[in-house]
A and B are shown apart, each in its own frame.
Chain A
Amino acid sequence: MPQEQKISLEQVRHVARLSRLAITEQQAQKYAVQLESILEYIAKMGQVDMAGVEPMAHALPIHNVLREDLVEPSLSREQVLQNAPQTDGPFFKVPKIIGGDEDSAG
């Protein structure tokens, strides 16, 4: 656990970019202080010796559930599109995807 972690403004901007959140400079400054205090609080887990402890993603034993590969009723195209902010016929409408900044690659 990084005990002396200090979260910089640049890191906040980076995380906001990864999170696809166009935050303002003012928000970035506020979040930097708040995230720092939250991460500091979280870091107290580092006090505990966890050698040999298996991580637990679910507290109940959960198994993959499979069903017969049969066609079942699903939403109609109209229902799927009914909440879309912009559509074009049977399609979701989006701005140009290819040729954006490096973030849009991959």
Chain B
Amino acid sequence: MLPFDTIQAARHAIRSRQISARQLVDHALQRIEAHDRRVRAFNSVHTDRARERADAVDAGLIQGPLAGIPIAVKDNLCTRFGTTTCSSKMLATFHAPYDATVVRKLESAGAIILGKTNLDEFAMGSSTENSAFGPTHNPWDTERVPGGSSGGSAAALAAGMCCGSIGSDTGGSIRQPAALCGLVGLKPTYGRVSRYGLVAYASSLDQVGPFGWTVADTALLLQTMAGHDPRDATSVNQPVPDYLADLDRPVAGLRIGIVKEYQLAAGMDPQVKAAVDDALRKYQELGAELVEVSLPHAEYAIAAYYVIAPCEASSNLARYDGVHYGHRTAAEVKDIVELYSKSRAEGFGEEVQRRIMIGTYALSSGYYDAYYLTALKMRALIRRDFDRAFDKCDLIACPTSPVPAFRIGEKSGGDPLQMYLVDVFTVTANIAAIPGLSLPCGFTSGEKPLPVGLQLMGPVFSEERLLRAARMYEAATDWHRRRPVL
């Protein structure tokens, strides 16, 4: 591992001159060099640029709360340096002409971006197997997936190749890989973090968020990224609280909602259930009260998601035409339509094609009411369920994923639904726009123990409460100190 592998430890070490930013970055680059052939977390590594920036930190030319901290960002966030590929053949050589707002903010705070991480193509997937460049492997067991779609960011951090990382979450794509890799991962309230420069998948659901080993690291990254951005009309103009100020102060009289319907969820791994039940008992010991709440429409969340997300994707991905940027077919074409159709068929992988087709079908003449409008009504019902639940509790706790990390190939066979169902506990937060956080709450037994994640969800803009509640549990447990051996 890195000599200082959390952001807080690294910050302290750099400031007290126990290590220079350059030394820390070199350590991280060596980890990548030594292990990324197996883990395959990175699509691209920017060694020279990272070293130059680290030297600038050491020379006092770059300052800020993240000065010298090596991080990794998902390869669907635009950077002016290198490529932004979305792990798609379509964008394999795409050079973004501008930086995403989060990239700009992180670098302004002094962070050193080591490279861009692998993902399911265009963030469509839950295992990072849908990458056009090959799957990422879970550092806890390299025969298993790291989760997805931000699997590269999760694996890079879990493998000790950086001190923190950034992903995006449309249906669980930060929280689920955080759970499967033993990390803290946060999907903020929709609009809390700017989406400017995040390559769009499903615009009403997408949100950028952080991964950290600890709640404090996660809070610090969120602090750096959150806030209104005039370049994203959906970013919310609301003050950003100081997420770290009261982080160690437990939430007094915390009421945790337990979702009645989730107790009967099919396909739940017994070891996941046991770890989550233990975590809830721990919360009770810490003074929290458990209250039963109901989300009667939660069982329809995946159905609604697989209408809304593909519909938005079919529209967002219409821009890839083989003309303005992206892959263009080398085949002889007779007209522009054939140019579009061949370029897109060659450039997009099968999951992306499937979702574009589902969305196009659902939005096509005669089906709009039956699919899209129904899904938007379901969205209203799911949001109402949460509003009612939060009248009775401060936050909701449940497993992040019904299963621990699965084997590469296990769910990527012929039936895409098997993969979709992994998102059963996470898609609701995106549909309702509320924040969700996953934190480590145990490990499976066996030769290679696998991490289990506990998910906490709260009302919109309750990130501070979620982080404090997560910190209560973290302070009373040791799961966040475990590291995989590569």
Residue of B nearest to A92 (CB): B323
Residues on A with beta carbons closer than 8 Å to the beta carbon of B460: 60
Contact A83 B377 (CB under 8 A): no
Q: Does A62 contact B (CB under 8 A)?
A: yes
Chain B CB within 10 Å, residue with most, of A21, A23, A84: A21
**Pairwise interchain contact B324-A83, C-beta atoms closer than 8 A:** yes
Decide if B213 is an interface residue (CB 8 Å cutoff). no
In this assembly, does B328 line the interface, its C-beta being within 8 Å of a C-beta of chain A? yes
With A and B bound together, what is the CA distance between A56 and B297 in angstroms?
15
The contact string, 1 if C-beta is below 8 Å from chain B, for chain A 1-24, is 110000100011001111111110
With A35-B357, A59-B190 known to touch, is A86 a contact of B328 (CB < 8 Å)?
A: yes
Quick one: given A22-B344, A56-B380, are A12 and B357 in contact (CB under 8 Å)?
yes
Closest CB in chain A relative to B138 CB, distance in Å: 26
- CB atoms of A95 and B339 under 8 A apart: yes
Decide yes or no whether B457 CB sits under 8 A from chain A: no
Task: Evaluate contact between A34 and B337: CB separation under 8 angstroms.
Answer: no
Q: How far is the CA of A56 from the CA of B303 in the complex (A)?
A: 15
**A44–B374 contact, CB under 8 A?**
no
| Distance between B322 CB and nearest chain A CB, rounded to angstroms | 6
CB distance from B424 to the nearest CB of A (A): 12
Q: How far is the CA of A96 from the CA of B414 in the complex (A)?
A: 39
Question: A56 near B370 (CB under 8 angstroms)?
Answer: no
Cross-chain contact A59 with B379 (CB below 8 angstroms): yes
B476 within 8 A of A: no
By a CB distance below 8 angstroms, the chain B residues around A35 are 354, 357-358, 361
Given A20-B341, A48-B297, A85-B328, is A38 in contact with B333 using a C-beta cutoff of 8 Å? Answer: no
**B376 and A67 contacting across the interface, CB-CB below 8 Å:** no
- Chain A nearest CB, measured from B212 CB (Å): 26
Shortest Cβ distance from A65 into chain B, in angstroms? 4
The reply to whether A31 and B337 form a contact with Cβ atoms under 8 Å apart is no
Instruction: Name the prevailing secondary structure of the A interface residues.
Output: loop
A70 to B277, CA, bound (A): 57
Is the beta-carbon distance between B300 and A55 smaller than 8 angstroms? no
B417/A41 in contact, CB under 8 A: yes
Contact A15 B360, beta carbon cutoff 8 Å: yes
Bound-state Cα–Cα, A64 to B234, Å:
9
B2-38 interface (Cβ within 8 A of A): none
A47, B353: Cα distance in complex, Å = 28
User: B337 is contacted by which of A33, A62, A100 (Cβ under 8 Å)?
Assistant: A100
Q: Taking the complex as formed, is A75 at the interface, i.e. its CB lies under 8 A from any CB of chain B?
A: yes
- Chain A residue nearest to B322 in the complex (CB): A85
Contact with A along B227-249 (1 / 0, CB 8 A): 00010011010000000000000
A18 and B336 contacting across the interface, CB-CB below 8 Å: no
What separation, in Å, do the CA atoms of A25 and B335 have in the docked complex? 21
Please tell me if B279 contacts chain A, counting CB pairs below 8 Å. no
The interface-forming segment of B58-66, B91-99, B156-164 is B91-99
CB of B255 within 8 Å of the partner chain: no
B375 contacts across to A, CB distance below 8 A: 42, 45
* 9 sample A-B contacts, Cβ–Cβ < 8 Å, listed by A number: A19-B344, A41-B306, A48-B381, A50-B378, A54-B380, A58-B204, A65-B233, A82-B97, A85-B327
